[in-house]
Amino acid sequence: MTEKKIRVLVAKPGLDGHDRGAKVVARALRDAGMEVIYTGLRQTPEMIAEAALQEDVDVVGLSILSGAHMALAPRILELLKKNGQDQVKVFIGGIIPDEDMPRLKEMGITGIYGPGASTDDIVKDVREVMKELRNT
Amino acid sequence: MSLTKSILEGNRLALARLLTQVENDLPEGRATLSELFPHTGKAHLIGVTGAPGTGKSSLVNQLALHYRKNSNTPANVAIVAVDPSSPFTGGAVLGDRVRMRDLAGDEGVFIRSMASRGSLGGIAQKTASLVQVFDAAGYGIILIETVGAGQSEVDVARLAHTTVVVEAPGLGDEIQAIKAGILEIADVLVINKADRPGAENTERALRSTLELAHPTKRIFRHHGRTMSTSSETPDSTIWIPPIVKTVATEAKGIGELAEAIAKHAAHLRQSGDWAARDRARLGSEMEALLREALMDRFMENVPPTAYQAIVESVANRNISPSEAVKSLLNGNRK
């Protein structure tokens, strides 16, 4: 049997209109053989959780440049949990001040990537996490 | 067992998980689908196909909105949106949801994106199975959006009851329109982006194509009597694809499109084609599974080394591929 494809939702919550980073990451994940569901700009946490449910994704990647990550991230995690998708791993890319990182990790964010992060690292981390998940 | 029950009770998480199992052809998925099968056969399957950039996703979005809003007891709507997989990495970016944000927050709508995973017919190998899951789960309208199709990605017509082919102005001349393939499968033709220059030309080209495509179905008056060029077929079995002009981004023409689709469904039921299409689809699905199963069973009994040896002798031009097959089937597996 072929290995199950990793499905990733790439979403852009919040009101800023810059989705270049999200597109670069989506493409890198695609080139790594994953199936990436791209939802576009200005998604509410509710829309993201709904899409994650319908698409039964393994991973959600959030691109947040607006500074609202401390409000958006916990809300999305909470909704995923409410929908019974506790196992979904959430990654954040964007502009995240250093002092917020430990708190985001504590909440349950799996990985955080700032400007200049390499897409190879993101791909590697997603693969790693999925490997662990599937071996348990 | 309990998964089947959850699906029938409308549990969306269970539905999402089953779709994954079925898409990956896991044994659990197959078993649950078999249990659900008696509950299928109720939905109207509507295929939406057309070249990239004609506005299929926007149109599907508007159609779904229309079905949800213009009825007191709206049917649940499922959307299966297929986008291509990379032939090199197997990865895919599935972007159809970008144009479907209006549907967010409606529990009666379920959108599932699907990668084509190497299939070339415009839909994926497991699209039909996913559609069956939605059918059993009580989705009365199932919209199937193909990959941006060129000329020969026509598999959706075998799956859907009604096939909508979407065109847009400025994409091709009349020669494109008379080539075999995608236009032939249309039950309803849509000219989307009809506010753009060239829409009249596109309509004219499509109309003349339709006249060429349905020459036997013309009715005319001769010596005062109504005659038809195909006397054996009664008129009620003739369906000539209507042309509907839309501007999906402004929700124009959507009511007319939904009406054309409903008329086609009524026509299919009246003429008996609904059941015939169902039977043909399930027959070919069974045949594909049989072929796969026979191949698996055959390969189980052929040692891989023997198989490789035969491939090798074909590569060395010692025997032809068809002689090799004959020899394999005759049990020559040395």
Per-residue pLDDT band for B121 (boundaries 50, 70, 90) equals: confident
Q: Which residues contact B132 (CB under 8 A, 6 or more apart)?
A: B33, B36, B37, B40
pLDDT by residue, tens only, chain A of 136 residues: 346 899 999 999 988 778 888 999 999 999 999 999 999 888 999 999 999 999 999 999 999 988 899 999 999 999 999 999 999 999 999 999 999 999 999 999 999 999 889 999 999 999 999 998 887 6
Contact B95 A38 (CB under 8 A): yes
| Chain B residue with Cα closest to A28 | B91
Most confident of B21-25, B168-172, B179-183: B21-25
Coil, strand or helix at B176: helix
- Contact list in A for residue B26 (CB cut-off 8 A) is 1
Q: What is the distance, to the nearest Å, from the Cα of residue B7 to the centroid of all Cα atoms in its chain?
A: 23
Are the beta carbons of A50 and B91 separated by less than 8 Å? Answer: no
Distance CA(A77)–CA(A49), nearest Å, equals 8
| Cβ within 8 Å, pair A35-B104 | no
- Residue count (chain B): 334
DSSP B33-81: HHHHGGG-S-SEEEEEEESTTS-HHHHHHHHHHHHHHS-SSPPPEEEEE
| Count of alpha carbons within 13 angstroms of residue B217, beta-carbon side | 12
Tell me whether B19 touches chain A (CB under 8 Å).
yes
Closest partner residue to B97 (CB to CB) among A29, A31, A39 is: A39
Return the residue of A nearest to B116 by Cα.
Answer: A35
Fold annotation for B40-273: Rossmann fold (3.40.50)
Give me the residue spans of the domains in chain B: 1-39, 40-273
**A-interface mutation test, from B28, B89, B94, B292, most A Cβ less than 10 A away:** B94
pLDDT in tens, B201-214: 888 888 888 877 66
Query: B75: pLDDT confidence band, cut at 50, 70 and 90?
Result: very high
- Taking the Cβ of residue B118 and every Cβ of chain A, the question of whether any pair is shorter than 8 Å is answered with no
**Strands laid side by side in the A59-64 sheet:** A111-113, A89-94, A59-64, A7-11, A35-38, B92-94
Rounded Cα distance, A68 and A65, in Å: 8
DSSP string for B135-166: HHTT-SEEEEEPS---SS--HHHHH-SEEEEE
- Does an H or E element contain B4, and which? helix B2-8
Residue ranges and CATH numbers for the domains of chain A are 7-135 (3.40.50.280)
DSSP 3-state of A84:
coil
Instruction: Choose from A25, A35, A87 for mutation: most chain B CBs within 10 A.
Output: A35
Give per-residue pLDDT as tens, B37-58: 999 999 999 999 988 889 999 9
**B98 in Cβ contact with B145 (< 8 Å):** no
Burial code (b: 16+ CB inside 10 Å, e: under 16) for B193-211 equals bbeeeebeebbebbeebbe
- In this prediction the ipTM stands at 0.93
From A99's Cα to the closest Cα of chain B, the distance in A is: 33
pTM across the whole model: 0.88
Q: How far is B24 from chain A (nearest CA, A)?
A: 7
**Over pLDDT 70: what percentage of chain B?**
88
* Cα Dmax for chain A: 45
